[in-house]
Amino acid sequence: MAAPVTTAEDEYLGEHHVYRPHKAGLPPLGRYLSELWRRRAFVRELARAELKAQNYQTALGQLWLVLNPLLNATVYFFLVDILSNGKNRAPNYITHLLSGIFAYTFFSSGVSQAAGSVAGGGKLILNTAFPRLLLPLTQIVIAFFRFLPTLPVLAVVIAVNNRDHITWNLLLAVPVFALLVLFTAGLGFLCAMLQVYNTDFKNLLPYLLRLGLYMTPILWFADSSSGLKGRIAAVNPLSPIFELWSDAIVRGELGPPATWLRATVFSVVILVVGFVVYVSRERDYAVRI
């Protein structure tokens, strides 16, 4: 027998489960969250395993993670130039576009991977009982690791293109990105639940995500936009995060407090709604897939 692991074993002996008919409802939150925290090593291991399968450790694999958004940004650069007849190109447009595309790539890959995580998690879900939130959470972690290789590229672009605006305010990008992580996770949970109940949601999602890109101030600047653009930025809950992101990275500015408030409120609300919707139904997933 293995060496005794007494504390853990006592804990297990005390375990007591009662399974009753499932009604959509939240489990005891404290216990659920502490169980999530206890399984964090599982999230890390699962993320590591999937990243390995995606060739994350190889130089070529990392190169593609950078090339993909770079090529996307190039295409959009030409698209916007053509549509505007090559006029009105704002200063720092390239930095704005690149930083926006990089962050949006994190957002869209996080959401779409999280969306597929439950519907595609068949064996694991049918054979092991664990808090189901771990599956989409793992995908957010993976999306974050896939975002990391783009940071050095962003640093070079800022150093070359934006030398005048390098200030301590650049560090504001960190809390802005944290808000984006909350937003991404919340929306990812929501989409994961939707995909379990509607198997064709995965066909619709890429279009929604692309529409989201155009409706967020990434290809355009938020403040140069009166009229339709301004109205879109006002109603799009993702918009304030990207406005702050651009303010911090491109201009080295703090950004208006009202925008911070909107970004924080939207992120937290989306996270809470996504969490509640997902977790309150999670015991039903095994029956559905």
Q: Which residues bind another protein (CB under 8 A)?
A: 1-6, 8-9, 12-13, 15-22, 38-39, 41-42, 45-46, 49, 52-53, 123-130, 197-201, 204, 283-284, 286-288
Smallest gap, in angstroms, from Cβ of residue 42 to another protein?
A: 4
Q: Are 131 and 186 in contact (CB under 8 A)?
A: no
> Which tokens sit at 38?
């206890």
Nearest 5°: CA angle at 253, between 252 and 256?
160
Q: Decide whether 253 or 284 has the Cβ nearer to another protein.
A: 284
Q: Decide whether 96 or 281 has the Cβ nearer to another protein.
A: 281
Q: Which residues contact 281 (CB under 8 A, 6 or more apart)?
A: 24, 193, 196
Smallest gap, in angstroms, from Cβ of residue 135 to another protein?
A: 11
Q: Decide whether 210 or 288 has the Cβ nearer to another protein.
A: 288
Please compute, for residue 88, the number of CA atoms within 13 A of its CA located in the half-sphere on the CB side: 11
Considering just the CA atoms, what is the radius of gyration of the chain in Å?
A: 21
DSSP symbols for 45-73 = HHHHHHHHHTTTTSHHHHHHHHHHHHHHH
Please compute, for residue 90, the number of CA atoms within 13 A of its CA located in the half-sphere on the CB side: 17
Neighbouring C-beta atoms of residue 73, cutoff 10 Å:
20
Smallest gap, in angstroms, from Cβ of residue 56 to another protein?
A: 13
> Which tokens sit at 262?
């909107």
Q: Decide whether 20 or 87 has the Cβ nearer to another protein.
A: 20
Report the alpha-carbon distance of residue 282 to residue 188 in Å, rounded.
Answer: 14
Report the alpha-carbon distance of residue 107 to residue 96 in Å, rounded.
Answer: 16
Q: Decide whether 66 or 124 has the Cβ nearer to another protein.
A: 124
Smallest gap, in angstroms, from Cβ of residue 181 to another protein?
A: 23
Smallest gap, in angstroms, from Cβ of residue 240 to another protein?
A: 29
Smallest gap, in angstroms, from Cβ of residue 59 to another protein?
A: 20
Q: Decide whether 3 or 174 has the Cβ nearer to another protein.
A: 3
